[in-house]
Structure 1
Amino acid sequence: MNLSYSICKQAQPLISFTGGLNTNSLNFHNRKDKVVVVMGATGTGKSRLSIDLATHFQAEIINSDKIQVYKGLDIVTNKVTEEECRGIPHHLLGIKDPDADYNATNFRHDALLAIESIIEQDKLPIIAGGSNSFIESLVNDDPYFASRYDCCFLWVDLSLPILQRFVSERVDQMVEAGLLEEVRGVFDPEANYTQGIRRAIGVPEFDSFLRAEGKNTDQEILDTLLHLAIDEVKENTWKLACRQLQKIHRLRDFWGWNLHHIDATEVFLKQGEDAHEAWKRLIVGPSVMTVAQFLYRPTSVQNFPKSPSTTVIPRTVPSMAAMATASH
């Protein structure tokens, strides 16, 4: 079974490690292979950072987004394009039938196969995606993974007001790029919106509009329904971002994951070349240093999550309502 999205050719790394990335030649004390995990809410630049890291190290990327695993709806699901891949192979991206079920158990199985395939090539696996429940299931619930791999967790973050604004602007950009045409192409009045790729935000929201469109409804009503659908996509995407942040806070504060926090707020406040330079200076540079230190140091328990101690009181995880309030 092919578990890779193979249209991207391998780019030449900017940093080369004699003896490979996941061998004991790096340090004879190292007894675990190493995996990098890039986390963050939707729209924060996880995919971009993972590709940047993969061009610096001998690495391949494993998608951990539960919707991007499906074939089709590339605009709706915001898959990276071939150009954006910059030659870096991506695994578990656009490989599943749109109507198939795919859960955390499936992901654990497929991700482990991909990790082992990448390591056999003496390369670094980078897991990137917004489905933190998939990542948690792999890291916390799979004894084999825990016994074999040491993890470095990078968390790309934004201030809430900036994130909410960017999420809204990105939906508008997706509509301009052809989101509605994609959804129209898979519309089925009998479809189940709780299964497969049709669960994706950006699909069920257009149901009322597409049903009305098929009945030769008055144009003014259609325009109203379309605007309502787009607003609903923005609202649901923002709610998703809040849930993702809640999950990340829980992984850090309750499960004790050692997350390297990367604040991208300043980058998103800039435009054009200034934003590009700020991304390299504030995001890529520190991330490359963090990963390089992780690859060279001996395996340590400090970076790997443990079961929460009964004597530790976790910090309060902000609610979605609190996040939404903070954004205004």
Structure 2
Amino acid sequence: MKKTVVAIVGPTAVGKTTLSIEMAKAFNGEVINGDAMQVYKGMDVGTAKITSEEMKGINHYMLDIIPPDEDFTAADFQYNVEKYVNSITAKSKLPIIVGGSGLYIQAAIYGYSFSNHKRNPDYTAELERLVNEKGAEYLHNELKRIDPHQAHKIHPNNYRRVIRALEIYETTGTPMSDHHKHENKEPLYNIFFIGLEMERSILYNQINKRCDQMIANGLIDEVKLLYDKGYEKSTAMKAIGYKEFLSYIKGEQSMEDSIELFKRNSRRYAKRQYTWFKNKMNIQWYPITPDNASESFRTILNDLAGVVGVK
């Protein structure tokens, strides 16, 4: 019998964390982080990482597990999700995955195969050299040539995913998009996807306010501390909320321009998150506003009670 798992997804700043705590309390659950950046130690403010107080005694997993100079792939995420789903279920508790990293969550739920695609360190180093010398756009254009379908799904600036797609083609002779066609179409778990959606202008206002709050909470100091520790070149520091303020810290951009770029990139990311989740997964969407959040959460918990049971 498949294990039952709930996943709470949606764009940044929509209210996923608050709902997850309410759900965990209602259904004897524990939370698995589904945000690719919250795995990093020391990246707290800029990732909107849940605080100990906000957890309200609910166990959380896959937070603060690696330093910012280590890579954390979708395969790593998949492995950890399986481990924690098994351990949480063994305690007769409900695993609740919460986050907005669509590819990672999809890979974990559907059991995508990564182990068959071994890396060639020399080829990877060559691709990274090309990024440094000719820019991410050059590599993305190369992916367009061999796998236009996959190139369309990957933003040119996300050069790590571009490199991975090129590696798969190099080692297998087959485009990554062809490999995806043969991936498991059935989820590994008895999965219930809960999506939170907010009218675009309201969401963007929430995002702008959250960005201001992050800055007030010490985001720039957090970025500077990571910069001083030598993490500037790490993949983690290319995350929204960090890359924008590196330019300010290095004296290359004004504070005002950095803040505006931070907000704009956050809004654009939310739009991409919506597109991903609505195109890739079978999700039950619930509308939410800042004023009716409690009412929406009650509706969600009532709907879920009939399928996962109540504590």
Q: Same fold (TM over 0.5)?
A: yes
Name the residue aligned to 2:200.
160
How far apart, CA to CA, are the structure 2 residues paired with 1:125 and 1:145?
Answer: 21
Distance in structure 2 (CA, Å) of the matches to 1:147 and 1:133: 14
Alignment correspondent of 2:276: 247
Query: Which one-letter code corresponds to 1:203 in the other structure?
Result: Y
The one of 1, 7, 12 equivalent to 1:42 is: 12
Amino acid at match of 2:208: S
**One-letter amino acid of the structure 1 residue matched with residue 294 of structure 2:** K
TM alignment of 1:291-310, pairs within 5 A: 291-296=304-309
CA contact (8 A) 1:139 1:145 kept: no
Runs of 4+ in 1 over 3 A off after TM superposition: 141-148, 188-194
Does structure 2 retain, via aligned residues, the 8 Å contact 1:189–1:211? no
Q: Match for residue 77 of structure 1? A: 47
Q: TM-score, normalised by structure 1?
A: 0.69
Distance 1:186-1:260 versus aligned 2 partners, 3 A rule: same
AA paired with 1:208? S
Alpha carbons of structure 1 residues 122 and 189: separation in structure 2 relative to 1, 3 Å: closer
CA contact 2:68–2:234 (8 Å) conserved in 1? no
Following TM superposition, by how much is the alpha carbon of 1:193 offset from its aligned partner in structure 2, in angstroms?
Answer: 4.4
Residue among 212, 230, 246 paired with 1:172? 212
Q: Is 1:200–2:235 an aligned residue pair?
A: no
Aligned equivalents of 2:101, 2:247: Cα separation in 1: 28
Question: Offset of 1:190 from its aligned partner?
Answer: 6.8
C-alpha distance 148-242 of structure 1, shift in aligned 2 (>3 A): closer
CA displacement 1:99-131 (0-9 Å, x = unmatched): 110011000001100100001111000000010
Following superposition, the deviation at residue 290 of structure 1 comes to 2.0
Distance 1:148 1:207 in 2: 40
1:63/1:90 contact within 8 Å kept: yes
> CA 1:228 to 1:294, structure 2 compared with 1: closer, same or farther past 3 Å?
same
- Number of equivalenced pairs: 240
Q: 2:258 aligns with which of 212, 220, 229?
A: 229
1:69 counterpart SS class: coil
Contact 1:69 1:94 in 2 (8 A): yes
Shift of 1:145: 11
Alpha-carbon separation, structure 2, partners of 1:189 and 1:85: 29
Contact 2:226–2:232 (CA<8 Å) still a contact in 1?
no
Structure 1 residues 190 and 85: alpha-carbon distance in aligned structure 2, compared to 1, 3 A threshold: closer
State the shift of 1:188 in Å: 4.8
Give the direction of change, closer, same or farther, for the CA distance of 1:227–1:108 in structure 2 (3 Å limit): same
Asked whether the 8 Å contact 1:60–1:126 carries over to 2, the reply is: yes
Name the SS for the 1:100 alignment partner: coil
| TM-score normalised by length of structure 2 | 0.72
Identical pairs, percent: 32
Structure 1 equivalent of residue 128 of structure 2: none
- Give, in whole Å, the separation in 2 of the partners of 1:183 and 1:103: 22
2-side partners of 1:71 and 1:285: how far apart?
33
Larger helix proportion of the pair: 2
Residue 166 of structure 1 aligns with an amino acid whose one-letter code is Q
Supply the AA of the counterpart residue of 1:132. Answer: G
Give the Cα separation in 1 of the matches to 2:234 and 2:275: 22
How many Å apart are 1:139 and its aligned residue? 2.1
Report the Cα offset of residue 292 of structure 1. 1.2
Question: Partner letter of residue 198 of structure 1?
Answer: M
CA contact (8 A) 1:45 1:156 kept: yes
* Residues 68 and 231 in structure 2, CA contact (< 8 A), matched pair in contact too: no
1 CA distance for matches of 2:187 and 2:249? 50
Preserved contact between residue 41 and residue 66 of structure 2 (Cα < 8 Å): yes
CA shift for structure 1 position 212: 2.0
Deviations 1:248-295 (A, max 9, x none): 11024xxxx1x2111112xx2x3xxxxxxx3222x2211111221122
2:303 to 266, 271, 290: 290
1:91-102 alignment runs, 5 A limit = 91-102=61-72
1:199, distance to aligned residue in structure 2 (A): 2.3
Partner of 1:127: 97
* Map 1:6-17 → 2, pairs under 5 A: none
Pick the aligned partner of 2:267 from 238, 250, 253: 238
